[in-house]
Amino acid sequence: MAEPVSVAADYLAGSRARAARTVLGQVVLPGEELLLPEQEDAEGPGGAGERPLSLNAGARSRVRVVCGPGLRRCGDRLLVTKCGRLRHKEPGSGSGGGVYWVDSQQKRYVPVKGDHVIGIVTAKSGDIFKVDVGGSEPASLSYLSFEGATKRNRPNVQVGDLIYGQFVVANKDMEPEMVCIDSCGRANGMGVIGQDGLLFKVTLGLIRKLLAPDCEIIQEVGKLYPLEIVFGMNGRIWVKAKTIQQTLILANILEACEHMTSDQRKQIFSRLAES
């Protein structure tokens, strides 16, 4: 009983900032400060050890670091704002520093620029459609932002249709705006999603897990039967298969796979493959 109390007291009293490098992969809580690699050298190990001699003490070469979702800039350090595991990605080409972010889990989506989402058209007013994307406000979608749309040639979009598009404007001060074309003017798979199928909601973390490049779940699901899936970064998944039963099986698998271990998953898939 004494341990947790002392740990908490220590934390509140001193709260020494930890080096980001040492905390990678561990759970971090909101309010923690993290030191970037260049800073920890200067701080020294608590002042007790010897400072290493550096040739140019004044000019420290600093690299650009990107702080991703769950982190904020606080002076020279990173401040954690969401609880989750700290992750880091090395820079691929040249411009250094890499990306730090917190792998957190939540169900509520906040619109972010560049995200591809599934929206439901709720209203048609004048030249724009109001699309519900699960955020605090419905996003606006202009009728000209479809491939091959002109003032005379309007897209065939009705209230209640499903739209797959991306955000061009998404910040806390303005209403989010989305489009269904890319910067070249091509649809690239965006636009109205076809008839039938089933739309259901999952957590945001699951979407990212399923869209990871080496996701086994998607590969195994793809071997079952012909199907089509659309993932929206706002936690919505649309699935369609040949029969209603197959569609429902698919939806159940995707919802449940968040909490299953890989063994349980393999069992279920083998059972399905038999039947």
Contacts with another protein, residue ranges (CB under 8 A) = 36, 62-69, 71-73, 76, 78, 87, 89, 97, 99, 101, 110, 112-116, 164, 188-189, 208, 211-213, 215, 218, 221-223, 225-233, 240-242
Is 185 or 189 the residue whose CB approaches another protein more closely? 189
Work out whether strand 99-103 and strand 33-35 pair parallel, antiparallel, or are unpaired: unpaired
Is 14 or 25 the residue whose CB approaches another protein more closely? 25
Would you mind telling me the total number of residues written for the chain in this entry?
275
Least distance from C-beta 3 to another protein, angstroms? 35
Is 51 or 242 the residue whose CB approaches another protein more closely? 242
Residue with tokens 């159940």: 252
Q: Are 21 and 35 in contact (CB under 8 A)?
A: no
Least distance from C-beta 30 to another protein, angstroms? 16
Q: Are 77 and 34 in contact (CB under 8 A)?
A: yes
The amino acid sitting at 18 is R
Is 157 or 241 the residue whose CB approaches another protein more closely? 241
Is 127 or 196 the residue whose CB approaches another protein more closely? 196
Is 39 or 128 the residue whose CB approaches another protein more closely? 39
Strands (E), 126-267: 128-132, 139-142, 162-169, 177-179, 191-193, 198-201, 227-231, 236-241
Q: Are 99 and 88 in contact (CB under 8 A)?
A: yes
Least distance from C-beta 104 to another protein, angstroms? 11
Least distance from C-beta 72 to another protein, angstroms? 7
Q: Measured between alpha carbons, how far is residue 75 from residues 32, 36, 274 in Å?
A: 13, 11, 59
Write the DSSP string, 110-159.
---TT-EEEEEEEEEETTEEEEE-SSSS-EEEETTSSTT--SSS-----T
Is 96 or 123 the residue whose CB approaches another protein more closely? 96
Least distance from C-beta 51 to another protein, angstroms? 22
Least distance from C-beta 264 to another protein, angstroms? 22
Q: Are 224 and 107 in contact (CB under 8 A)?
A: no
- Distance from C-alpha of 127 to C-alpha of 50, rounded to nearest angstrom: 68
Q: Measured between alpha carbons, how far is residue 234 from residues 20, 157, 194, 240 in Å?
A: 29, 21, 19, 19
Least distance from C-beta 64 to another protein, angstroms? 6
Is 133 or 230 the residue whose CB approaches another protein more closely? 230
